[in-house]
Amino acid sequence: MVDASEQSGGIPVTLFLDYSCPFCYVASHRLERLARRYPLDILWRFLEARPETPADGAAVSGDDARGERGEAVRAMVREDGLPWSPPPKRSNSRRALLLAQAVQLHRRPRFLPLHRALFHAHFGDGRDIGDASVLRAVAGEQGVADLVDTAWNTAQPVEVFLSHVEAASELGIASIPSLVVSGRVFSGASSMELLEQSLAHHAEHSQGL
């Protein structure tokens, strides 16, 4: 399997995401799947989907859980064969994002395993990724427990995280997941289908088919 975090010289693709966003869960999986077929140079960037969420979490709204958005997520999850057992409340994801950022900065080879583990913990195992003890456990399972304090108590992860927020604002990104390819922004998990079509078209023409 190609590790998307270690590729270079490929097609630059940026994904803005949040570990508490179910559509980002699907989009990340689909982007990694594409990276196994095409030479992508992926930059993972972080945004809070709902920064107003209290530190101890918030109830999931009926629209999210039972409305069209909820059914759309469940359909995508079933299609992709992803585990699905989300927690009963919405988590505050700030500490999870800072942990991922610190690992990306200081131990890049461990980033993708942690990235996948955070999504799985939240949406596969139903664990609250706003809970510091849950995050410390996940970090320990992924061999990055020593970076937890760096993530939460030093300036650099916060500064880089804020640069993602600023970049998203400059690009006019109003929702996540958002994919950026050649300066163009595509929003939603379904944007991966557009990327796949474009990559397939480019591959056919480059091979003279």
Tens of pLDDT, residues 169-199: 999 999 999 999 988 999 998 889 888 888 8
pLDDT for 64:
64
Question: According to CATH, what is the number of the domain 4-206?
Answer: 3.40.30.10
Q: What single DSSP character describes residue 50?
A: -
Domain ranges of the chain: 4-206
More confident residue, 26 or 191: 26
What distance in Å separates the CA atoms of residue 183 and residue 14, rounded to the nearest whole number?
Answer: 9
Indicate the pLDDT class of residue 10, thresholds 50, 70 and 90: confident
pLDDT for 208:
45
Indicate the range of 53-67, 107-121, 173-187 predicted with least confidence: 53-67
Pairing of strands 184-187, 11-17: unpaired
Under 8 Å between Cβ of 14 and 45: yes
Q: For 155-169, how does the pLDDT look when each residue is reduced to its tens digit (9 = 90+)?
A: 999 999 999 999 999
pLDDT, average across residues 70-85: 94
Which tokens is 55 given?
């530190």
pLDDT for 202:
67
Indicate the pLDDT class of residue 7, thresholds 50, 70 and 90: very low
- Closest listed residue to residue 139, CA positions, set 86, 91, 203, 95: 95
- E strands in the chain: 11-17, 40-46, 58-59, 89-90, 178-181, 184-187
- Closest listed residue to residue 16, CA positions, set 168, 198, 202, 189: 168
pLDDT for 4:
45
More confident residue, 195 or 134: 134
What distance in Å separates the CA atoms of residue 138 and residue 35, rounded to the nearest whole number?
Answer: 25
Range 123-137 burial, b when 16+ CB lie within 10 A, else e: bbeebbbbbeebbee
The residues, any chain, with a CB within 8 Å of residue 92's CB and separated by 6 or more, are 20, 53, 54, 55, 56, 57, 130
Pairing of strands 184-187, 178-181: antiparallel
Neighbouring CB atoms inside 10 A of 25's CB total 30
pLDDT, average across residues 12-36: 96
